[in-house]
Amino acid sequence: MTYYIVDGTEESFYTAVFEAYNDRDCIITSERSVQLGLGFEVKDVATDGQKAARVRAKLNELDGGAEEDISLLLRSNHALKENVAFEYIKLIVAHKGAVRAMLANPVVIEMTEIRTRVFYEVHRLKGLLRFMENADGVLYAPYSPDNDITDILARHFAARFSSKKFVIHDVKRKRAALFDGNEIVITYADSADIYLSEYEAYFENLWRQYYNSVNIASRPHIKQMKGYMPVRYWKFLPEKKVK
Amino acid sequence: MLDAERLTILTESAKYDVSCSSSGSKRENTKGGLGNSSVGGICHSFTPDGRCISLLKILMSNECLYDCEYCPNRRSADVRRASVTPDEICNLTINFYMRNYIEGLFLSSAVFDTPNRTMELLCETVVKLRKVYNFNGYIHLKGIPHADDEIIMRAAKYVDRMSFNVELPSEKSLKLLAPQKTKESLLLPMKKLSTAQIYDKENKVRRGKGMVIPAGQTTQMIIGASPESDGQILRLTEALYRKIGLKRVYYSSYVPVVESPKLPTVGAGLLREHRLYQADWLIRFYGFDVGEICGEGDNLPLDFDPKCAWAMRNMHLFPVEINTAPLETLLRVPGIGAKSAYRIIQARRFGALDFDNLAKMRIILKRAKHFITCKGKFYGLESGNAVKAALLLDGIRENEQQLSMFSSPSVALSALTGEI
């Protein structure tokens, strides 16, 4: 059994697919802490743009939507995400075309479940991300998502706030998307010192006030609230922060 | 600037309006402007009552001229009163929106001067929000009955959705409980808007070029404050969907909080409201006609959901083979929702499905198994009576959950929803 170790980027993954394709007994993974036994071999994949491009071209020829599926899969926090993506590509090649409608196939079921989880977190955070305005009018949103989705969210907010500058900061992965009104740049970002606008506290308070008054207190249904808005997201929500 | 006290009064007055949907529109961002709308809608927060916050729901004023029997803001009620200016609303909307607290504005008002003056101020606010504040997010505007068409149609060009509440399921009840409103004052503007929507569609009038309400119209009615049967209510609902092209009809179950000789002393119960919503879904997404679900003078059964009830009246149509039944038939199987039906259709193109496949696809089979075969095999209970008993048991569990969701008596307030 051979482990193809990739660095987490799409290019690295597609290079590994190229190299591992004819290897009948292998796993592609970005997990560094693999448990090795006898007869196990580890290959560090060196990203090769040409190899990756050939895999992408073939994939696009067979199914125009597969790259998008895989792009979402690879953002997941699922431990075997690369390998599920690899199996998915093999299935597409075997069937010479799109397979995502084969909803009873185990590979498609697994792919769909991981993809849906990423997709759903994106959707959820389009609503739950909270911006603060700093003294220069730049919007800053720290958060800590399960999956690596900062660039997707940045595209959503760039379309929405085209006249604003903003920063979306994944504090867990130490990555940030910066939007200057023109383009999005993804960068390493550790911690940030933010000087808030003088109105920030005022609007945060009004929002808390609104949140409390729009609730129908006599009709509690905490379980449903937590189902839609899991507690792990609360620490970045002004309406849920303990004051 | 808007203070917390007025915000509280005007939110408290607006919160019983059921609708908080922000879907159905895909307004784009304009150069230098703020916002766009997402066609699927986005929820931004959830309150401890389990409801979503998508829009900033607020009244311009709760000082009402009208005296609708069931409404907490009616003229004769002793409540705190407040109003805000168009600029205060715009400023709050923009600031909430750019912090991503909300998807847009749901603006409504009590009738504080004349209907025209009220509608004009609402219209002025949304025009200002679009043109001066360059806001491209979602706006839902409540229509004021008896206001001139000209003002309503002007406002409709700037908002995504409008709603006039029909309030009560019959003209007779409306006369009794909301005497200042007439059936015509509610239905005529709805029809005018619907005609304008059809005109826009036929003439390809685009958004920003005068297109009215891209996300359509909704309405709301109170259930159980007046004697109409579910059959009557659902016939009105079906007509609103099919003749006026509404996007949603909201129901709000009546519970007595306002004492009045004209109002019943007992509430309608939330299970009835739940059943009406289930029937509403069957009409909109499952290809049912109201005549199949409920007789004109009848009420929906409380023990079973309306699809189960229909299936048990039509046991001769079942079981159906999951691998060959057409979509229309799959949609009629109890327990199989629209999404599952579409997924089955997709999956079976690649090979016949067995019971195990369905389970792995996470199709819920608890109820469905009594009504389907997979590759000719049947996994349910044989006799109609046994099926009935099993479903009844399910129903009881489901109802218990439903009821505990809304167990408190002061659900009461939900009855008053939205009447402003």
Does residue B368 share a domain with residue B253? no
pLDDT at B399: 59
- Residue ending a domain, among B291, B323, B353, is B291
pLDDT at B396: 66
In a domain, B300, yes or no: no
* Chain-chain contact of B11 with A101 (C-beta, under 8 angstroms): no
For residue B402, what are the CA distances in angstroms to A207, A228, B46, B274, B275? 30, 17, 19, 8, 11
In a domain, B299, yes or no: no
Does residue B180 share a domain with residue B76? yes
Taking CA–CA distances from A230, the nearest residue in chain B reads B46
pLDDT (tens digit per residue) in B85-94: 999 999 999 9
Does residue B263 share a domain with residue B185? yes
Helix, strand, coil in percent for chain B, rounding step 5: 40, 10, 45
| Residues near B82 by beta carbon (within 8 Å), at least 6 away in sequence | B5, B6, B9, B10, B61, B62
Domain carrying residue B242: 4-291
In a domain, B278, yes or no: yes
Count how many domains chain B has: 2
Give the nearest partner residue to B414 out of A104, A109, A216, using CB atoms: A216
pLDDT (tens digit per residue) in A139-152: 999 999 999 999 99
Average pLDDT over residues A45-57: 95
pLDDT at B401: 53
Does residue B100 share a domain with residue B26? yes
Does residue B368 share a domain with residue B277? no
Q: Catalogue the E-assigned strands of B66-197.
A: 104-108, 138-142, 161-163
* Chain-chain contact of B36 with A139 (C-beta, under 8 angstroms): no
Does residue B374 share a domain with residue B255? no
Does residue B193 share a domain with residue B78? yes
Does residue B371 share a domain with residue B273? no
Does residue B96 share a domain with residue B209? yes
Q: Which residues in chain B touch residue A229, judged by CB atoms under 8 angstroms apart?
A: 45-46
Q: How large is the angle between the packed helices B270-285 and B306-313, nearest 10 degrees?
A: 70
Query: Which two three-digit tokens encode residue B6?
Result: 């007025």
Q: Which residues in chain B touch residue A102, judged by CB atoms under 8 angstroms apart?
A: 347, 350
Asked if residue A112 lies in contact with residue B346, where contact means CB atoms within 8 angstroms, the answer is no
ipTM above 0.90, yes or no: yes
pLDDT (tens digit per residue) in A62-83: 999 999 999 999 999 999 999 9
Which residue's structure tokens are 């402007």? B33
Query: Which two three-digit tokens encode residue B154?
Result: 């002007």
- Residue ending a domain, among B260, B291, B322, is B291
Mapped onto helix, strand or coil, the DSSP state of residue B215 is coil
Q: Catalogue the E-assigned strands of A17-146.
A: 26-29, 41-44, 132-133, 139-143
Q: What type of residue is B101?
A: Y
In a domain, B399, yes or no: yes
Query: Looking at the predicted structure, is the pLDDT value of residue A243 above 80?
Result: no
pLDDT profile of chain B (420 residues), mean per 10: 91 79 81 83 93 94 91 88 96 96 96 94 97 94 95 96 93 92 92 94 84 93 92 96 94 78 81 93 96 94 92 94 97 95 95 94 92 93 83 69 42 31
pLDDT band at A193 (very low <50, low <70, confident <90, very high): confident
Query: Looking at the predicted structure, is the pLDDT value of residue A9 above 70?
Result: yes
Domain CATH for B206: 3.20.20.70
In a domain, B298, yes or no: no
In a domain, B271, yes or no: yes
- Residue ending a domain, among B291, B324, B357, is B291
Does residue B118 share a domain with residue B169? yes
Average pLDDT over residues A181-189: 93
In a domain, B216, yes or no: yes
Mapped onto helix, strand or coil, the DSSP state of residue A187 is strand
Does residue B397 share a domain with residue B249? no
Q: Catalogue the E-assigned strands of A62-192.
A: 132-133, 139-143, 166-170, 175-179, 184-188
In a domain, B240, yes or no: yes
Min Cα separation B385/chain A (Å): 33
Using the Cβ of A120 and the Cβ atoms of chain B, whether some distance falls under 8 Å is answered with: no
